[in-house]
Amino acid sequence: MENRRVALIAGLGVVELWIFGMMFRSLCGGHESRYTVVPPSSAFAAMSNDALEGRLAKTIDAGPAPHVVIDDDGATLSVSVRPGSTVAVNEETDVRGWVHGGRHPVSVERTVDGVQIVRSDNDLVVSMGLVRRQLTVVVPPAARLEVKNAGSTTISGLRADASIHSDDGSVVVSDVRGAVDVRTDDGRVELHAVDAPAVEIDSDNGRVLLDRVRADRVAVTTDDGRIDVVRSLLLGGKIKTNNGRISLDLDPRSNVTVNARASDGKVIAGAPLTLISGGRDDDDAPSTIRIGSGSGRLDVGSDDGSITVSAGGVYGS
């Protein structure tokens, strides 16, 4: 009985060593292969990365101005534009490690008004290692984009509205002509060369940067992170952070009255601007700074951090 027990323990030890060796081999020698759909396997059936890595490419003719919906929280997302009426989707998967389970390609379907790109619940389980997925989507310039969820996201070239949500990842939007709405739980948000009737950004944790942004109305809030606005033309709205400094470098043509309140910090007007009212350390009233005619209203607040307002940057430069 004792001998059988020793033999069983020794056998299990050999199996563990074999599994560890295969894990090490997978981690050190991963490579790409063609996409293969793997049916879900038993919870203890290990799959090599050869069966799980791969690529998927699909193109759908959806018209010149489709509504494109993307819901894939496990992928790094890139959206760009190309003239025409097609939506092209490419998914690349890279596996490094020892995994078990199965996986299926992202679903790309034609809808009544556009295209839906959805990733169902991931049925891939990683025992040791890492799985990376890159989702690249090319749309017509007039496509209306709705990202319900994704990892880190980059978007460029759109000439219509874009709505982006990321639970965990940065969002970078550039060269867009349309309303922009960004929500992220954890990650920085950057807007570059954006011309929009409205810009809305809500971030729980991360820096917000507006660079060369022209907007009739802005609503920018972050719980934890600084906010920087450079070379931008803003006609009104609200900018608020609970923890972080705010720096505004506005185009003189913004023509706004900035009402700035720093609960634990200073409000500074960069030359040639001056404080019209407020600015004293013992005064809880907001400081007022006028840019141009001051016809618009921009409310700016920081609970913990200083606020600096200047008017030297020129939008589009």
Q: What is d(CA 254, CA 291) in angstroms, rounded to the nearest whole number?
A: 7
Please tell me the total number of residues recorded for the chain in this structure.
317
Task: Say how many CA atoms lie within 13 Å of 269 toward its Cβ.
Answer: 21
- Residue 141, preceding peptide bond in cis (omega within 30° of 0): no
Q: How confident is the model at residue 255 (pLDDT cuts 50, 70, 90)?
A: very high
Q: What distance in Å separates the CA atoms of residue 11 and residue 199, rounded to the nearest whole number?
A: 63
Q: Output the pLDDT for position 281.
A: 53
Top-confidence residue, 309 or 283: 309
Alpha-carbon distance of 313 to 132, in angstroms, equals 40
Closest by CA position to 302, among listed 230, 212, 232, 208:
208
DSSP code at position 251: -
Burial class (CB in 10 A: 0-12, 13-18, 19+), 21: exposed
Q: Of 19-28, 86-95, 290-299, which gets the smallest average pLDDT?
A: 19-28
Domain segments of the chain as ranges:
1-76+89-130, 152-310
Residue 148 · residue 73 · CB < 8 Å: no
CA distance 95 to 26: 9
Q: What is the pTM of this model?
A: 0.81
pLDDT at 304: 86
Q: CA-CA distance, 256 to 297, in Å (whole number)?
A: 5
The pLDDT, as a whole number, for residue 38 is 37
Element (H or E) spanning 210, and its range? strand 208-224
Residue 4: predicted pLDDT: 52
110-130 pLDDT tens trace? 999 999 999 876 555 555 666
pLDDT score of 119: 83
Span 170-196, mean pLDDT?
A: 96
16-20, 138-142, 159-163, 311-315: lowest mean pLDDT where? 16-20
Residue 32 has φ and ψ, to the nearest 5°, of -90, 150
Confidence of residue 24 (pLDDT cuts 50, 70, 90): very low
Select the more confidently predicted residue: 36 or 71: 71
Q: Mind giving me the DSSP string for 273-289?
A: --EEE---TT--SPEEE
Q: Indicate if the pLDDT at residue 32 is higher than 50.
A: no
* CA pair distance 53, 63, nearest whole angstrom: 32
3 state DSSP class of 255: coil
Chain segment 38-65, per-residue pLDDT in tens? 333 333 333 334 434 457 789 999 999 9
CA atoms within 13 A on the CB side of 228: 12
